[in-house]
Amino acid sequence: MTTAADDLILGLIRIVDLPGLTAAAGQPLAAEDIEAVVREADRFAREAIAPGWQTADRAGARLENGLVRAPEHYLPLYGQWVEGGWQGLAAPEAHGGQGLPHALWSAVLELCSAADMSFTLCPLLTAGAVELLAHHATPDQAERWLPELVAGRWTGTMCLTEPQAGSDLSRLRARAEPAPDGSWRLFGQKIFISWGEHDLTENTLHLVLARLPGAEAGSRGISLFAAPRLLPDGRRNAVSCGGLEHKMGIHGSPTCIMLFDGAEAELIGAPHRGLQAMFAMMNAARLAVGVQGVGQGARALAMAETFAATREQGGKTIDQYPDVARMLAEMRATTLAGRLLALEAAASLDRARLLKSPEAEARLALLTPIVKAWCTDRGVEAASLGVQVHGGMGFCEDAGAAQILRDARIAPIYEGTNGIQALDLVTRKLPRDGGALLRTLLAEAVLVAPAIGQAAATVEQAIPAMLGAGGPVGASRFLDACGWVLGAAMVARAAAADPAHAATRDIFLRRLLPRAIAAAEEAMAG
């Protein structure tokens, strides 16, 4: 049986061909170097992050006298993260990063998220802040902020949501008032801010959406600002945590109500163009959340396999019973498919940047909502199956299976609900070319495995309906259908690269792929 690290190495080297991609870009990365990074990340995740996973869940984050305390062991753990240079893995070399491919960061993120989703959410968001500032900050801003974020000495947040403005950011009320020194003062309340306040680093840079005076209503009147927790002279900025949410899962991650009471801030990018700039961080976060879904599925699978191989009932271990074997096989297949689909999206990002490929850019845009939604839905399903494999023990907290399900459940919700991802697919991405790129991906899938043909044809048949008035109604089921077909192709590619995955491929094509046909037909039914 292969491990998650084994499959990530296979995916990076032999499926998305990261050595070939980097060589073509004139920045060659050898296969042995890729494997070394993944193996070390796997060791760090297993030995440093994973042991405190349940402790963090039980202790949770705490608000004490206006200060947020993360679980106690997170502070030394974060120190190890920083010392290992993990935060800057894929960050620009010009700002202190290592400049390695995003696909490699995606692999590291999966392993660490599987070990502790709450902890890894903090560096995930910082990486998104680096992504945004690298493209939208002025040279002076980049020089002051990026080295701190890239090194992990600071963390970053994204402050979008308000009580009345969740998915609909056009209702945003936070405002920015000009100051005599040319900076801005922020006023307003933000909610659901992950790692908005904590004690792991001295400073946090908040990236905040707010309105300028006289800005037009709606999303076009929104600007983007950066407000540090500590100002350059060491004073505390006028931003504070007004409370912590009491959540179903990810207890170790503080989800904060953030209050801006005249906080000093700087404008990022052009006025009234904040939402466009924030999408750089949001799109990076959406891919990363898809990877979180894979990570939770992988953790659920590993725990379920171990339990089923040692739990005896009726004179044999329960993994020998057909229904338990079926559940484990499904978890194995969907986790592998999601893992490789996420790597394919990350490699598309690398091709777009390193090779300046417009086709790769378009492929990334199309795959992003599919990866975010399909991979997180499969992660929740795998976590639920993991509880089922454990039986009554899984329903009790000590086993840990229940925590995976509680943690995984946020992934289909945050960074744009999966329903919003489906709408993005059918109302934005498909209309760009009338579905031409998706048809290309479906054709590629059939070339990999002709058995995918009927499912791919049914999905293709649904494209005109999705481009019509009924698209929004069937969007979620259509996205699901796309995920099943593209996931099947990724598993087939894995089996072609390594015969160890042949059984998983056969199970996927025989048992799981028919779900694509059912989902596509449901999408067309409206």
Specify which residues 257 forms β-bridges with.
Answer: 243
368 domain residue, yes or no: no
Q: Which CATH number goes with the domain that contains 513?
A: 1.20.1270
517 domain residue, yes or no: yes
Q: What is the C-alpha to C-alpha distance for residues 481 and 458, in angstroms, rounded to an integer?
A: 9
Q: Residue for token digits 């959410």?
A: 121
DSSP state at residue 213: T
Of 213, 219, 217, 227, nearest to 260 (Cα)? 227
**What is the separation, in whole angstroms, between the first and last Cα of the chain?**
42
Give pLDDT tens digits along the chain (526 positions): 899 999 999 999 999 999 999 999 999 999 999 999 999 999 999 999 999 999 999 999 999 988 999 999 999 999 999 999 999 999 999 999 999 999 999 999 999 999 999 999 999 999 999 999 999 999 999 999 999 999 999 999 999 999 999 888 889 999 999 999 999 999 999 999 999 999 999 999 999 999 999 998 888 899 999 999 999 999 999 999 999 999 999 999 999 999 999 999 999 999 999 988 888 778 888 999 999 999 999 999 999 999 999 999 999 999 999 999 999 999 999 999 999 999 999 999 999 999 999 999 999 999 999 999 999 999 999 999 999 999 999 999 999 999 999 999 999 999 999 999 999 999 999 999 999 999 999 999 999 999 999 999 999 999 999 999 989 999 999 999 999 999 999 999 999 999 999 999 999 999 999 999 999 999 999 8
Would you state the pLDDT for residue 414? Answer: 95
Active site residue 143: no
Gyration radius of the chain's alpha carbons: 23
The boundaries of the domain holding residue 510 are: 430-525
Number of domains into which the chain is organized:
2
Catalytic annotation, pick one of 148, 415, 460, 522: 415
Q: What is the C-alpha to C-alpha distance for residues 402 and 395, in angstroms, rounded to an integer?
A: 6
Q: Which two tokens stand for residue 337?
A: 């498919």
Of 406, 88, 97, 70, nearest to 244 (Cα)? 70
In this prediction the pTM is 0.97
245 domain residue, yes or no: yes
Contact 192, 241 (CB under 8 A): no
Q: What is the C-alpha to C-alpha distance for residues 87 and 285, in angstroms, rounded to an integer?
A: 15
Which of 224, 250, 275 is at the close of a domain? 275
For residue 331, give the amino acid letter: M
312 domain residue, yes or no: no
CA distances from 52 to 4, 115, 198, 209, 343 (A): 20, 9, 18, 35, 27
Which of 241, 275, 309 is at the close of a domain? 275
Q: Which two tokens stand for residue 519?
A: 């989902």
332 domain residue, yes or no: no
Q: What is the C-alpha to C-alpha distance for residues 344 and 23, in angstroms, rounded to an integer?
A: 17
175 domain residue, yes or no: yes
Would you state the pLDDT for residue 66? Answer: 84
468 domain residue, yes or no: yes
Can you say whether residue 195 is alpha, beta or left, with left for phi > 0 and alpha for psi between -120 and 50 degrees?
left
For residue 334, give the amino acid letter: T
Q: Residue for token digits 């990002």?
A: 349
pLDDT, one tens digit per residue, over 157-178 is 999 999 999 888 889 999 999 9
Sequence-separated (6 or more) residues with CB below 8 Å from residue 241 = 63, 66, 68, 196, 197, 254, 256, 257, 258, 259
Helix (H) / strand (E) containing 280: helix 274-310
Which of 260, 275, 290 is at the close of a domain? 275
- Could you tell me the sign of the dihedral formed by the alpha carbons of 428, 431, 432, 436, in that order? positive
For residue 201, give the amino acid letter: T
- Could you tell me the sign of the dihedral formed by the alpha carbons of 503, 504, 506, 507, in that order? positive
pLDDT, one tens digit per residue, over 479-526 is 999 999 999 999 999 999 999 999 999 999 999 999 999 999 999 998
Would you state the pLDDT for residue 219? Answer: 83
DSSP state at residue 135: H
DSSP state at residue 215: P
The burial class, CB within 10 Å (0-12 / 13-18 / 19+), for 314 is exposed
Would you state the pLDDT for residue 278? Answer: 85
40 domain residue, yes or no: no
Residue 302's CB is within 10 A of a number of other CB atoms, namely 17
- Could you tell me the sign of the dihedral formed by the alpha carbons of 487, 493, 497, 500, in that order? positive
Angle among Cα 399, 400, 406 to the nearest 5 degrees reads 135
